[in-house]
Structure 1
Amino acid sequence: MTSVKLPPLDLSPALIEAAKVSKAWPFEEARKLLKRIEGRDPSRPVLFETGYGPSGLPHIGTFGEVARTTMVRTAFRVLTGDRIPTRLLCFSDDLDGMRKIPENVPDRAALEPYLHKPLTAVPNPFGGDHKSFGDHNNAMLRRFLDHFGFEYEFASATEYYRSGRFDEVLLRAAGKYQDIMDVMLPTLGAERQATYSPFLPISPTTGRVLYVPMKAVDAKAGTVTFEDEDGTETTLPVTGGNVKLQWKPDFGMRWAALDVDFEMFGKDHLTNAPIYDRICEILGGKAPEHFVYELFLDENGEKISKSKGNGLTIDEWLTYASPESLALYMFNKPRTAKKLYFDVIPKAVDEYVTFATRYPSMSVEQQLANPAWHIHSGNPPEVDVPVSFAMLLNLVSASNAENKDVLWAFISRHVPGVTAESHPKLDELVGYAIRYFDDFVKPTKVFHAPDDVELAALKTLDATLAELPTDADGNTIQDAVLDVARPIERYQDEKKKGPDGGPGVSVSWFNALYRLLLGQERGPRFGSFVALYGIPETRALIAKAISGELVSGNA
């Protein structure tokens, strides 16, 4: 168990009443859970569980289960006035056999002799202090959960099976063997039916997890008999970690053994949920409340896989953005499939700042719908970030900043009194912006050479900026930039109205400026960017675009 304590909550009557009708999805799930435990001993803890398959390196989807479950747990605590104890168990299925070697591990050939052995019996290919592949991946998950500050208990299937914590229910499974088979066999093809068993013995000769039919199941003795890999008829007790259950029966067994009250899982489990529930009931348990979320996709629209290593890892996100931005990504629309790759990071960062900044001025009802409330378990911090992440990225782009000092020189001039010491959250974003730009923006920058219309427009823009005071604010500069484009037919938009009743300015004008001056297709509000970057510096950038110096840098 981690040493982190559950954070205190605002349990004012107004907040509890608002929680009873809040439409935020964690409160909707918490109200279902509250109905589930009606009439139950209130001193009995409500158990929230998340599952982790350590067959590959942890990915963000794994973190998402813990973050989202924590959000439901916090909502439940509010609804009950925090009078009913709760637990969050993060369960690792590390006794599973390694059925294939992940693509993203070093020296894959060295792991081939360990195929089908439990993940906690496979050597650690990454080196270090962790004895096994399963131990290493478990540690990676715990490291991030600890970094984020979750309150949870970690559980290892290897430990639970071998210590005897599942023995009672495993003996029950031996007694209900045929009932479990009656649930499972109709879900399988004819070939699989012929060899299927819910019990997977671990070979005493090879140490592998065996997918073999049972010759006999002795419920009274609590044993199974099967043919080992060397052809020997072997009998093992179902207790003590000598066997484990197939993954579908294992779900239901675990729920029954631990009295799990709530577990969420991905849409890929949806068709199997009735199977898990039925096996749980056969083994004497009550199926938990479920929450089914949509899966994450990579930039090609393919499902993210731990073994493939596609999509983002936990460490990759945290290299370029804060944990809070990641938690926001998890909170938003969990039942909608979302692409999870590097391009989503800047938007998540700025959206988090927006929600956190607005939080203090909101009513109680609005606060409970604000993602910041759920991300911070009801205790959002004060956030003051006067420059957006998107703006910082473009400032890095224009200035070619390689360190924080360069960016802070611009920021301090634009926002007097703001320093790295007074605004540590902004300083954090400055570091993220430099890393993100270097790795993802800079390699894709392509400056366009201005055509005749663009060349004339740039010269007019330069002359216009020259007439403005150097301390002009973003709105003044934005108006001046719009005035440059109004008489140019290419940039007129008949659907918009200008201040004189004529055509408005098309977004194509700003797209052209981004391509010509920043080498990008998109950018921030241009007037605000110029105010932050500086009018003299922007004019110097325009001069380079006019002379062709920026284009020559493409090579």
Structure 2
Amino acid sequence: MKEEDNHNHQSVIGKGTWLDKVADTLIKREKKLGRKLDLIRVESGLGASGIPHIGSMGDAVRAYGIALALQNMGYKAELIAYSDDMDGLRKIPAGLPDWLKEHIARPVSEIPDPFGNCHASYGAHMSSLLLDGLDGAGIKYRFQSGREAYKSGKLVSQIDRILQSSEKLGKKIAEFVGQDKYVSVLPYFPVCSSCGRLYTAAAEKYMPDEKKVTYACKGSRIGKNEVAGCGHKGEADITKGEGKLAWKVEFAARWQAFDVRFEAYGKDIMDSVRVNDWVCDEILGHPHPLHVKYEMFLDKSGKKISKSAGNVLTPQMWLRYGTPESILLLLFKRIAGTHHVGLEDVPALMDEYDSYEGLYFGKVKEDNQAKLTKIKGIYEYINKLNPPKQPAPHAPYHFLVQQASIYPSDPDRLEKVFARLGKYGMVKEKSDAIMRKIQLAANWADDNASRVGDEKFEVQLTDNQRKAVTELIGVMNEEFAGVQETPENAKALQSRVFDIARANGMEPKEFFTLLYRMFLNADRGPRIGNYFLDLGAERVSSVLKRYL
């Protein structure tokens, strides 16, 4: 038996999560390549052309997770958050002002801030929203602005080598992805010095001695629209950031310049990554980073969450209702498979985090050892390898929402909800964590007032359970209608629920769990006697009837 345990123990890598597996693969690969491991950099690109959403944040958070797994293995690792703020504005995201039309194809770092003058540019504002989300979730990173990288010459030697190999490159891109554009045009977009646009100026010739590119501003097709050029002919100096590399080669330049060893990517840019890997290996002589491919985030209707579609779910929106830990759980739980995500997932993830915490501290039992190891590992990564010394007080999210909805405009609302928790024996003492949770649930109750109380969770009743529920409705209406909530009455109702369970061949625990599922979408909750009397017979009956 011992030997078998030992074998199982041996097969767990790190903390038993996908983050550990990736970190382990990365270290083995780096050792094979013979590269130095004194500092391992992982990278995430931050889009700066639209409102950052939960998917954009996911990219950075997961890269940070890999850095944590590397740190857990004893290596020094850091996340570089690289903002694509030299990118040109291709279209106006939903809800932003029309005057941005004049700025189509201009680098986002050269466009005024559409939200007022709180940031130096459009690009700086968009980047800051994502960085704010990362800060809110406690993610550590080193910020690198793309504009700064180009203007300060950090990418000059990479641009020079790529442009000197442009003929070979153009053929390779055509062979790889069937795009022959770069056979005749350099993979570099100068910013036209006359109209300030990117993409409209075609780079014609590279002069390596002067480190300059000649161009003609002829216009270009951006998405579905033609953007006219201004006709200007000029030269762009690559040492001064007067242009940027095309995406098909830019990642490679970044990877070599910043010695990046890991970057995940979404399947929508698979082709670009393949080309960049080749450029990194063959043109720049730098082994490309290890990658993990992830699926895109979709909304509940199955549409891709995107900046321009206007179905954006931002970290800020999530953090109005959920803790940073609930976001990290969503992003660390798994990387494979498509995520259909919406704000309606917040309550379940809040409760799921509590269940992870319960398992971590041994308050909840789990017999599957591999599953337990993985859950404990994810819990430690969510807590940045510094888990709390003891669990926070737990209360089902829907319960907090229900309670908050009872006192919509009461100035002492949070205190009153907290008092209810004490009365039901769910918490012993006040803490910042529980008051913060009550506030988040109150925000949910306020913004979803029409839905609170009308929710029906997924519960399938057996014949026995159906019979027990029907009996309970009768008991509530006949024996407890209008009955005040006192300790004696609560005790009487509690014992009636016990009787009903046993009379219908059920363990009381099974019946209580069923009731918590129906009312709170949770496996445990407040004392049923007190809770039902507080809700009132009428409300309890109407909820129960929904499931018949």
Partner of 2:379: 372
Partner of 2:55: 61
Partner of 1:13: none
Partner of 1:140: 129
1:113-168 per-position Cα deviation (integer Å, ceiling 9, x unaligned):
11110001111010133121101112222222223322211001100001111111
1:242-282 per-position Cα deviation (integer Å, ceiling 9, x unaligned):
12111121112211222210111212223432212001121
- Tell me the amino acid that sits aligned with residue 167 of structure 1: V
d(CA) in 1 for partners of 2:269, 2:190:
24
Structure 2 matches for 1:137-536, cutoff 5 A? 137-187=126-176, 192=181, 196-228=185-217, 229-281=229-281, 282-361=283-362, 366=372, 369-370=375-376, 371-381=378-388, 382-397=390-405, 402=410, 403-415=413-425, 418-420=428-430, 423-443=431-451, 445-446=453-454, 458-463=473-478, 470-471=486-487, 480-481=496-497, 483-484=499-500, 497-498=505-506, 523-524=521-522, 528=526, 530-531=528-529, 533=531, 535=533
Q: Residues 380 and 447 of structure 1: is their aligned pair in 2 closer, same or farther, counting only changes over 3 Å? A: closer
Identity %: 26
8 Å Cα contact 2:408/2:446 also seen in 1: no
d(CA) in 2 for partners of 1:359, 1:227:
63
What secondary structure, in the 3-state scheme, does the structure 2 residue paired with 1:124 have? Answer: coil
1:198-222 per-position Cα deviation (integer Å, ceiling 9, x unaligned):
1111101011102444332233443
8 Å Cα contact 1:224/1:235 also seen in 2: yes
Structure 2 matches for 1:67-82, cutoff 5 A? 67-79=61-73, 81-82=74-75
Q: Residues 531 and 463 of structure 1: is their aligned pair in 2 closer, same or farther, counting only changes over 3 Å? A: same
Q: Which moved more, 1:271-280 or 1:149-158?
A: 271-280
- Tell me the amino acid that sits aligned with residue 173 of structure 2: M
d(CA) in 2 for partners of 1:66, 1:117:
26
8 Å Cα contact 2:41/2:79 also seen in 1: yes
Partner residue of 1:103 out of 94, 101, 105: 94
- Tell me the amino acid that sits aligned with residue 112 of structure 2: P
1:89 aligns with 2:99: no
Deviation of the 1:170 alpha carbon: 0.9
8 Å Cα contact 1:476/1:527 also seen in 2: no
Deviation of the 1:22 alpha carbon: 4.7
d(CA) in 2 for partners of 1:249, 1:93:
14
Partner of 1:5: none
What secondary structure, in the 3-state scheme, does the structure 2 residue paired with 1:312 have? Answer: coil
d(CA) in 2 for partners of 1:478, 1:401:
31
d(CA) in 2 for partners of 1:54, 1:86:
25
1:388-440 per-position Cα deviation (integer Å, ceiling 9, x unaligned):
223222333566685212212211212287243xx321221111111112212
- Tell me the amino acid that sits aligned with residue 316 of structure 1: M
Q: Residues 506 and 545 of structure 1: is their aligned pair in 2 closer, same or farther, counting only changes over 3 Å? A: closer
Q: Which moved more, 1:362-371 or 1:118-127?
A: 362-371
Q: Residues 276 and 65 of structure 1: is their aligned pair in 2 closer, same or farther, counting only changes over 3 Å? A: same
Q: Residues 479 and 219 of structure 1: is their aligned pair in 2 closer, same or farther, counting only changes over 3 Å? A: farther
Provide the aligned length of Structure 1 versus Structure 2.
Answer: 500
d(CA) in 2 for partners of 1:269, 1:169:
21
Deviation of the 1:479 alpha carbon: 6.6
Partner of 1:45: 39
d(CA) in 2 for partners of 1:471, 1:256:
70
1:499-529 per-position Cα deviation (integer Å, ceiling 9, x unaligned):
69xxx98999999x85xxxxxxx65569846
d(CA) in 1 for partners of 2:28, 2:451:
54
Q: Residues 444 and 531 of structure 1: is their aligned pair in 2 closer, same or farther, counting only changes over 3 Å? A: closer
What secondary structure, in the 3-state scheme, does the structure 2 residue paired with 1:215 have? Answer: strand
Deviation of the 1:369 alpha carbon: 4.4
8 Å Cα contact 2:58/2:331 also seen in 1: yes
Q: Residues 47 and 524 of structure 1: is their aligned pair in 2 closer, same or farther, counting only changes over 3 Å? A: closer
8 Å Cα contact 1:295/1:338 also seen in 2: yes
Partner of 1:542: 537
d(CA) in 1 for partners of 2:147, 2:197:
14
TM-score computed with the length of structure 1 as normaliser: 0.79
8 Å Cα contact 2:472/2:497 also seen in 1: no
8 Å Cα contact 1:394/1:523 also seen in 2: no
Q: Residues 414 and 244 of structure 1: is their aligned pair in 2 closer, same or farther, counting only changes over 3 Å? A: same
TM-score computed with the length of structure 2 as normaliser: 0.80
Q: Which moved more, 1:468-477 or 1:214-223?
A: 468-477
Q: Residues 508 and 314 of structure 1: is their aligned pair in 2 closer, same or farther, counting only changes over 3 Å? A: closer
1:288-337 per-position Cα deviation (integer Å, ceiling 9, x unaligned):
01111121111211111022331421111110010011100111121121
d(CA) in 2 for partners of 1:400, 1:123:
40
What secondary structure, in the 3-state scheme, does the structure 1 residue paired with 2:300 have? Answer: coil
Q: Residues 344 and 53 of structure 1: is their aligned pair in 2 closer, same or farther, counting only changes over 3 Å? A: same
Q: Which moved more, 1:241-250 or 1:61-70?
A: 61-70
8 Å Cα contact 2:203/2:214 also seen in 1: yes
Partner of 2:463: none
Which residues of structure 2 form unaligned runs of 5+? 1-8, 218-228, 457-467
8 Å Cα contact 1:395/1:529 also seen in 2: no
Calculate the aligned-residue CA RMSD, in Å. 3.8
d(CA) in 2 for partners of 1:429, 1:342:
16
Deviation of the 1:60 alpha carbon: 1.4
d(CA) in 1 for partners of 2:279, 2:327:
35
Partner of 2:461: none
Which residues of structure 1 form unaligned runs of 5+? 1-15, 515-521
Q: Which moved more, 1:361-370 or 1:287-296?
A: 361-370
d(CA) in 1 for partners of 2:516, 2:426:
28
Q: Which moved more, 1:274-283 or 1:363-372?
A: 363-372
8 Å Cα contact 1:174/1:217 also seen in 2: yes
What secondary structure, in the 3-state scheme, does the structure 1 residue paired with 2:279 have? Answer: helix
- Tell me the amino acid that sits aligned with residue 436 of structure 1: W
